[in-house]
Amino acid sequence: MKIVRKNIALVIAVVLITSVSIAQQTPASKQIQTYSIVGATAHIGNGTVIENATIIFENGKITNVTSGNTATKGTVIQAQGKHVYPGFIATNTTLGLVEVGAVRPTRDNDEIGDMIPHVRSIIAYNAESKVVESMRPNGVLMAQIRPVGGRISGTSSIVQLDAWNWEDAAVKVDNGVYLNWPRSMTRGRWWLGEEPGFKPNKNYIKQTEEVKDFVQNAKAYTHGNASTNLPYEAMKGIFNGNQRLFIEAHDERQIRDVIRFKNEMGIQHVVLVGGYQADKVASELVSNAIPVILQRVQELPAMDDHDYDLPYKLPKLLVDEGVQVALGYDGEYWQVRNLPFYAGQVTQFGMSDADALTLITKNPAKILGIDSTAGTLEVGKDATLFISDGNALDMRGNILSKAFIQGRDISLESHQTKLWKRYSEKITGDKK
Amino acid sequence: MFLKKLLVAGVIFCSFIMNGQDYFPANDGVKSKNENYTVFTNATIHTSPSQTIKNGTLVIQDGKITNVGKSVAIPKNSITIDLKGKHVYPSFIDMYTSFGIKKPERPSGGGRESQYDNTREGYYWNDHIRSETRGVDDFEYDSKSAKGFINAGFAVVATHQHDGIARGTGALIALNTDGNKAHRMLDNNLAQHFSFDKSRKSRQSYPTSKMGAMSLIRQLHHDLDWYEKGNVNTTDLSLEALTRNKSLPQIFEGDGVYDAMRIDRIGDQFGLNYIIVGSGDEYKRIEDVKALNRTFILPLDFPDAYDMENPYAASFVDLGDMRHWNQAPTNPKHFETNGIAFALTTFKLKSPKEFKTQLAKAIKHGLSKNKALAALTTVPAELLGKSNEIGSLKNGSWANFMITSGELFEEKTKLHEHWIQGRKTIINDMSINDIDGSYAVSIGGISYDLEIKNSTTKVKGTLKKGTEDVKSEMTYADGWVNMTFAEGDNKFVRIIGQVVNDRLAGKVVLSNGDEQSISVNRIKGSNGTEKDKKVDTPKAPVVLPMTYPNTAFGFKEQPKQQDLLIKNATVWTNEASGILTETDVLIKDGKISKIGKNLSGGRAKVIDGTGKHVTAGIIDEHSHIAAFSINEAGHNSTAEVQMSDVINPDDTDIYRNLAGGVTSIQLLHGSANPIGGQSAVMKLKWGASINEMLLKDKKFIKFALGENVKQSNWQSFSRFPQTRMGVEQVFVDYFSRAKEYEARKKSGQPYRMDEEMEAIVDILNEERYISCHSYVQSEINMLMKVAERFDFKINTFTHILEGYKVADKMAAHGVGGSTFSDWWAYKYEVNDAIPYNAAIMHNAGVVVAINSDDGEMSRRLNQEAAKIVKYGDISEEDAWKMVTLNPAKLLHMDDHTGSLKEGKDGDVVIWSDHPLSIKAKAEKTIIEGTVYFDIERDLQMRREVKAEKNQLTAMMLAVKKKGLKTQPAKKKEKQRLHCDTEQTIH
């Protein structure tokens, strides 16, 4: 046993050294050898934790997750005192669609047009983005990519974050359509001399009618022999249940209208995105089987008289009511790497680490429709997981030594770690 | 109908021709002069708010009062008017209107490019200084608007051109409906006006912010002094006008209580006795307002209740706005009880028509009637230096007075006549007899019962045939009753009659055209008055208590400094003693008195710290909370502007920062220009005044480099610099000129006081420290070299995202770095920003702080520090110092805060957990021994917020039920301010 471990350490050392010397962005190749991670605390992602676990994965799939002494297979990774997590899944992001926020040529997230479900985010996804690679060292290994803007922005897809191109990256293509529900309050354009602040949107009903009209037409289109209509065509999956309709809405009025809309239109899978006031409609969301991708957890309250920690505790308020919740990210795309800490933030309010973990693993997998292959450390699922020195939901514990996507031993290097090493050496003589 | 209209419109007293202009030739007839007197007798004459004459006599001639008193000789050539039972009051004066003066149009075109230079010749360098304006030049009498004022009780208004920062002088206008400009203009160069708002006539960019406007006004006065001393060879008509108008009253319009404080600061600096135009929210900080010791002109534009019927819409209304609705009508009362002098104005009301109701509201909310009258008469007269002409009824004054049915400001009191310059306007005809009562009328053999009500106001006649109602219309004016009713389809009967005593006499025209004369007696008086009695039992309005500050989560009473003993906690000292377990911290008199085991604190309040962590308060080196504006973007250097001019002590983000353990911040200017404005370093004493928060001796200034100062990311191509090359030259230029400026100043020769240069000279002398917004290594290096060339040190590079590339040079220069933990990618110059930056700089020996530049992140700086443990493997203790001791060092405040050391300020946070843990919550945040945030108290406050909102909602719903005006539910826009924020919402 001792000898084996020594050899394995050598193998790991070799792997590490080679991964340093090769270009950081190079995606890992298909899993050939079998890995066994032993001795770690396995955070399954479904609310349970297995101590001293043996996790085995081969051909990209998890084949064993058990506690205690199980026969290992292939390369053994000793991980005593460490923690293994399923790869975190970011939802509601524009990762890979924008590289440098202020530079227009690098922005591919917002197409013109009001109702454009046929516009597909997946083909603009830049698998070689420097921003994308910066996600991986924090354990964010998969993401939903969505277009923004307009009323219906287009379709989202799910990618894994280590790939040569978008086709390789795709985990689920066109999994859903993003709809931005009309706002019940509109903002005075103070820069044009209007009174600042928000007042009731006079066109709210008209705008919701436009949405209904579009959706009804798209539905009618599925029955007929009309000539091709790309926008309607793109909505087909919504009606047969193959695709989700992600509806961004924040206040109570909007959310109640979204629920009614779901039932009136007979749409099977509606996901509420945003949901600042979702706690006021929690039981209806549960009874109508509508899960929620919440807005950014680390956000300021919308009003001066709201509890200072309202956005921090909102996930727990919803979970306590039985709502299925994933933590989304509607802010700056490059901040998505802080997703684990949003989950950590929720633990301040009495939610366990294991339950908070589900908000960025099992729940998003289920909400996105990829739970058969992703989201938890369970036999049969993709070996998309990582090893962390400590609690990965805490900054100080989120130190990754290894990460795998579909069993592939991926690089944890990035443009940023490269610069770190180069300049550490220059400035302080430290070799990292 | 025509006749009625004519009468209601009032006016007309034809025999009385306006005198004056007697040196004008007359070609339309003979020259005639009326020297008769008009005498008002038996009236209760209120000659001033403090003096009343019962059974008094008032004598006027040729528009002026010639005599007033109890026993007054009545000249023989008099017309006498008996005012038995009536009251006479001096007319109101509105000293702040734009009556008859139209706002200038904005120039069309211009595009989106900013315009940096002025457009005028022979005037001040800034187009928004328009002190040469004479309002009277733009004045045209507006009889429609005048009517509104006259009906509301105003006889004289001061008006001026409301445009620009310096607005020039105004005029005093009597609202004489008969005369012409010659009669009406009582003064054509009245008072001199100022505001913070730019002129509509010019697109000149500077100032883009309130602090810029403050600085512009300051510099204007320095330039005036320089000009007056004869140091300028050119002519400046704006400055000359300022000199000319120095002795006039100086009136400065603000918008809110903090403007009042700004105006006061300028007044103090230049010894100017500004009268401040308030906005109605002064009550929130009335003690501070009192301390200004200035006179105010107060508008009465109290907000309408919000329409709360739809709970969804209602949920967007903030408690602060709801409270303002409830409390604003108490504003004048607070002025009165605090002894602050004030005049009242119709300014900000949509129309003077609203004035009466709003004033009644103020009186209902505690303003005394006497004070209200003074604020409308003697006070404005005195402020304008016109006490001998207007504002009271005395010999020689203009005959401007009101005749009322009773005491002024009583709800039922009617204004009968308003005399202005001796000219009468009838508002509610006092000659109208009360004809209320029942009349039996026989028309064409049919008996009708006619019931008349409200004959002295809005008459209503009800006609009945037996028990059957007959639909009818009735008018009553000038003693004539006119009534029409239908008798079958398209058949009408008309009655016309005159009322003499209790008899209605006239004729009836039947539907067939036949006429019949009638004469009927009043049978009985109306009992309509009884109903009125029932309605009016005035209830004292419910006004909710104010808090400090007066928003949600404000304190009912300002928290006090306490001696505190925190027992048995894990104490992060940030000193050589490191992290101490099971240790006590004693805070006494606001200072850390002892740290050790088993301390006893005498009468200090004991807080159990078991399981808790105690640290020094977090200090945010780069903050933009608690500010009304961030950037003055009008020039490429704005070293003269001061963030301390725009502190918002009511910003809820202060409270939220406290809830994140933050005790001190540097409120920095933005990054719109290479040389930005002067910082405000402050402690977050929620509820305290600006002065209590501000650390005045901490002198810092913002510099900036990179894309923002080059204006790379928006459409602007005309301002220097557009490249990093140009940025260097801006610095070299300013430092060179500052050296020359200082040399001249020291030489004893006369010099033009330049607020901008003063700030730069302070930098050269290391009396003011630079915190420079910076990104890429080239520019960072450049600024250090420029500083070295001028022999001073840069204090801090803030953001400093590529600091790691030149950390060795930074250490050698001795500059600190205050950076983000992990921000990048949002623009091109942060392409190489890495989260390891702090670690590398730290390892190179640079003092490193982690800052926020963001109102959300600032309340989690403990987590941002924890990221430095993750990225770059810095020890927890060193990481913690990056948000406490190190920023204290960079802000030169580590001698009194930043660590837990005996003798330092008691700026302390008690955390629920290890402070770098994701689970840690600040439970108590203490500044100088005062607990400003307490997580338990916060829970109590949440309940109170909910209850208070509920109470106010019910009150607003009641208002709506009563049929009073409401406004739609609105949510105020809270702008998140960052370095890049160019424009702030006002």
Report the percent of chain B where pLDDT is more than 90. 78
SS3 B830: helix
Q: State the number of CA atoms in the 13 A half-sphere of A364 facing the CB.
A: 34
In angstroms, the Cα distances linking B763 to A353, B84, B212, B455, B666 are: 51, 76, 20, 78, 17
Contact B121, B140 (CB under 8 A): no
What residues have CB less than 8 Å from B400, skipping those under 6 apart? B90, B91, B155, B156, B174, B390, B419, B420, B421
Residues of A in contact with B313 (CB under 8 A): 184-185, 200, 253
pLDDT of residue B18: 55
Instruction: Report the pLDDT averaged over residues A322-341.
Output: 93
Residue of B869, B870, B941 to mutate, testing the A interface (most A Cβ within 10 Å of its Cβ): B870
**Torsion over CA: A198, A199, A200, A202 (sign):** negative
Nearest CA in chain A to B651: A304
pLDDT-based confidence at residue B717 (cuts at 50, 70, 90): confident
Residue type (1 letter), B397: S
What is the C-alpha to C-alpha distance for residues A146 and A155, in angstroms, rounded to an integer?
Answer: 7
CB contact under 8 A, B918 and A344: yes
Query: Which residues, other chains included, contact B501 with Cβ-Cβ below 8 Å and sequence gap of 6+?
Result: none
CATH 3.20.20.140 intervals, chain B: 698-896
Query: For residue B561, how many other CB atoms are within 10 A of its CB?
Result: 16
User: Are the beta carbons of B312 and A395 separated by less than 8 Å?
Assistant: no
- Nearest-CA distance B194 → chain A (Å): 22
Contacts (Cβ under 8 Å, ≥6 apart) of A379? A62, A63, A64, A65
Window B:553-592, CB contacts with A under 8 Å? 553
- Cβ of B652 within 8 Å of Cβ of A197? The answer is no
Which residue of A lies nearest to B803 if distances are taken between CA atoms? A423
Give ranges for CATH 3.20.20.140 in chain A. Answer: 88-374
Write the CATH number of the domain with boundaries B698-896. 3.20.20.140
Overall fold of domain B548-616+897-928: Urease, subunit C; domain 1 (2.30.40)
Whether residue B205 has pLDDT greater than 50: yes
Cis peptide before B207 (omega within 30 of 0): yes
Shortest alpha-carbon distance between residue B840 and chain A (Å):
6
SS3 B276: strand
Residue A309: name the closest of B146, B533, B655, B224 by CA: B655
CB < 8 Å to A391, chain B: 918
Amino acid at B772: C
CA distance to partner chain B, nearest, from residue A399 (Å): 6
First to last CA, chain B: 48
* Gap between the Cα atoms of B860 and A330, Å rounded: 19
- Chain A CB contacts of B840 below 8 Å: 420, 423-424, 427-428
- B198 and chain A in contact, CB less than 8 A: no
Q: Which residue has the higher pLDDT, B475 or B876?
A: B876
pLDDT at B527 over 70: no
pLDDT (tens digit per residue) in A243-277: 999 999 999 999 999 999 999 999 999 999 999 99
pLDDT at A13 over 50: no
Query: Dihedrals φ, ψ of B45, to 5°?
Result: -105, 120
3-state secondary structure at position B177? coil
Give the confidence band of B188 by pLDDT, cuts at 50, 70, 90: very high
How far is the alpha carbon of B574 from chain A, nearest alpha carbon, in Å? 19
Contact residues, B window 823-852, toward A, CB-based 8 Å cutoff? 823-828, 831-832, 834-836, 840, 843-844
Closest CA to A152 of A116, A184, A181: A116
Q: What is the DSSP-derived secondary structure letter of residue B256? A: S
**What CATH architecture applies to the domain A2-86+411-428?**
Roll (2.30)
The pLDDT value given to residue B432: 77
Average pLDDT over residues B238-243: 98
Q: Chain B window 921-950: which residues touch A at a Cβ cutoff of 8 Å?
A: 921, 938, 942, 945, 949
Q: List, in order, residues 6 or more apart from A383 with CB less than 8 Å away.
A: A31, A35, A57, A60, A61, A62, A404, A406, A407
Token pair recorded at residue B33: 């002069």
Cα B732–B735–B736 angle (5° rounding)? 80
Which regions of chain B carry the CATH code 2.40.128? 437-525
Residues on chain B touching A102 (C-beta within 8 angstroms): 707, 712-713, 826-828
Q: Answer yes or no: is pLDDT of B15 > 50.
A: no
Determine, for residues B863 and A395 on separate chains, whether the beta-carbon distance falls below 8 Å.
yes
B410 CB burial (10 A radius; 0-12, 13-18, 19+)? middle
Region B598-610: what's the mean pLDDT? 95
- As beta bridge partners, residue B771 has B702, B796
Q: Choose among A185, A338, A417: nearest Cβ to B316.
A: A185
B467: left (phi over 0), alpha (psi -120 to 50) or beta: alpha
Cβ atoms B704, B773 nearer than 8 A:
yes
Name, in order, each residue with C-beta under 8 angstroms of B139's C-beta and a sequence gap of 6 or more.
B100, B101, B159, B171, B173, B181
User: Per DSSP, which regions of B646-756 are E strands?
Assistant: 662-667, 675-678, 680-683, 700-704
Residues 712-741 of B with CB under 8 A from A: 712-713
Q: Which two tokens stand for residue B325?
A: 């609705």
Radius of gyration over every alpha carbon of chain A, rounded to an integer in angstroms: 23
The count of other CB atoms within 10 Å of the CB of residue B182 is 10
Distance in angstroms (rounded) separating the CA atoms of residues B266 and B645: 10
Q: What is the mean pLDDT of chain B?
A: 92
pLDDT band (50, 70, 90) for residue B984: low
Band of the pLDDT at B455, cuts 50, 70, 90?
A: confident
pLDDT at A378: 98
Q: pLDDT at position A189, please?
A: 76
Write the DSSP symbol of residue B541: P
> How many contacts (CB atoms, under 8 Å) link A and B?
171
Task: Name the region of A98 (left: φ>0; alpha: ψ -120 to 50; beta: rest).
Answer: beta
pLDDT reported for residue A23: 43
- Alpha-carbon gap: B626 to the closest alpha carbon of chain A (Å): 13
Is the CB of A102 less than 8 angstroms away from the CB of B828? Answer: yes
Q: Which chain B residue's Cα is nearest to A105? A: B828
Percent of chain B with pLDDT over 70: 96
The two tokens of residue A302 are 């919308």
How many angstroms from the chain centroid is the CA of residue A287? 25
CA distance A137 to B871: 10
Tell me the chain B residues in contact with residue A196 when contact means C-beta distances shorter than 8 Å: 972-973, 985-986
Task: Give the B window 256-285 contacts with A, CB below 8 Å.
Answer: none
Which among A104, A185, A303, A424 is the top mutation candidate for probing chain B, defined by the most B β-carbons within 10 Å of its own β-carbon? A303
Q: A15-50, pLDDT tens digit by residue?
A: 444 444 444 479 999 999 999 999 999 999 999 999
Top-tier CATH class for B437-525: mainly beta
Q: Are B645 and B210 in contact (CB under 8 A)?
A: yes
Average pLDDT over residues B397-415: 94
The pLDDT score that the predictor gives to residue B14 is: 39
Residue B318 touches chain A, beta carbons under 8 Å: yes
- Give the pLDDT score at B428: 87
Q: Tell me: domain A88-374, CATH 3.90.1150.10, correct? A: no
Cα gap A390→B300, rounded to integer Å:
62
Q: Does B817 touch chain A (CB under 8 A)?
A: no
pLDDT tens across B282-328, in order? 999 999 999 999 999 999 999 999 999 999 889 999 999 999 999 99
ω before B721 within 30° of 0 (cis)? yes
Length of chain A, please?
Answer: 432
**Rounded Cα distance, A186 and B211, in Å:** 30
Tokens at residue A28, please?
A: 């890992």
Residue of chain B with shortest Cα separation from A420: B836
C-beta of residue B97 within 8 angstroms of C-beta of residue B75: no
| Position B26 confidence tier, pLDDT thresholds 50, 70, 90 | confident
Instruction: Tell me which of A133, A395, A416 to substitute to probe the interface with B (most B C-beta atoms closer than 10 Å).
Output: A395
Q: Cα–chain-centroid distance for residue B902?
A: 44
From chain B, the residues in CB contact with A299 under 8 A are: 856
Q: How far is B319 from chain A (nearest CA, A)?
A: 6
Domain with CATH 2.30.40 in chain A: 2-86+411-428
pLDDT tens for residues B512-525?
888 888 888 887 76
B313, B869, B973 ranked by CB distance to A196: nearest: B973
